[in-house]
Structure 1
Amino acid sequence: MKLSSLLLSALCSLLLFSCAEKAPQNFKEITLYQPDDYFALERAYPDPAFNMRAYTRGLEEARQSLSFRNDFRGFQENWIVRGPGNIGGRANTIAVHPQDENIIYAGFARGGVWKTTDGGLSWEPLFDDQVFLAIGDIEIDPTDPDVVYVGTGDPNISSHPGIGNGVFKSIDGGLTWQHLGLEAQRIISQVRVNPQNPDIVYAAAMGLPFERNNQRG
């Protein structure tokens, strides 16, 4: 009798366990890199790799066309932003004026350099006239805060990096900019000014991620 009860209990347990098992589902496994690969393929097609020269040439042509936009009807009217306004940008770097904390510079992954003089209540763009708007770093000269250095290129690289064209310098708080070089490095991740000798400036160059470059460092 006891043996029969044990067998019955075992059969019931086995039946319940079998019912509890979920039916197999056919899901396609997505690897970590597939979204990045798809993002890159959209921008590289029909080439297997992104054509950086064509991309640079397109940016140059777009910048040149800005000088003609006032000749077209419609651009002379006043425009109001209608959205969407819920899309955030990614700030890569923030630099605060060493003598006035209300003056702040912010550099964005694709949005150029912005400046506030009222502690962040309002902002104005400073870098929109440049070809490349990806910003890696901003450094204020500690001995002369009107001197500002900007390293271009997004150091947070992905399948489609935001490249730059070297280091820029402003001597008037961002009103005008001078290109200092390192254009071929494409991504400048940090810029530092020697506080004992501000004529000495260091730049950390990441270089273009998907091409050989012996000038990184």
Structure 2
Amino acid sequence: MRIVCPSGSSSLLIPGPSKVTKPTKPGHHVQHNGPHKRETYKHRETKAREVAEAKRKNDKQKQMKQHVLSRYAHVYIGMLEATVTVEMLQKHFAGCGRIRRTTLRVSCGQAVNVGVAVPTAVRTTRDHKYASIEFYEPQSTLKALRLHGSLLEGTGIVVSTSVADLPEMADIVIPRMQKIRGELTQKTRYRFVSPPPSALVRHDTEVDFSDPTTDKIRLWGFSFAKCIM
């Protein structure tokens, strides 16, 4: 047997791997270090429905807010003199906020809108105008309501969010309601009413025994021979 000793550093033994890596078995998945969640098709569909439902609720809330803004961002002004103009109204309500639109309206068409006042001797409540003012912000409506009863051209004005509160509306509605009630009263007065039925009166059977030859029975004004009833 021959023993050969190494003659140089190149013949030194090279250390092998400290740990033997086992081969991966077929069908075995390697786990990742971080948490990983596989999203299935059903999970994605559920998530999409939740997102669509949240969007629908958000859109509905926006529509409700827009409806509130458009509903309460205006006021009605009544008891306006015939000399009141749009410029006067805008100046009177300028401190309430930004005005979108100012519209002058008349009651029964009798208001004078050319700047000529109706004489006091012939003036009636129908000679007053009423107007509507629309604001950009709903908070302006609250400020405008504080001007209820303020003087404009020497007359106290009525400010309300409902047109039914204006005196001009009463001038229109009350005559109309009185006319309807009068028509209903006339129809009721001339309606044919049948007389009440007469009460039945009971008459007993009368037999006259004063004359032996009388053999008739009289009943309710009729006479007939005796028979078995």
Structure with greater strand percent = 1
Query: TM-score higher than 0.5 here?
Result: no
Structure with greater helix percent = 2
If asked which structure has higher relative contact order (CA below 8 Å, sep 6+), I would say 2
TM-score tier by shorter-chain length is under 0.3
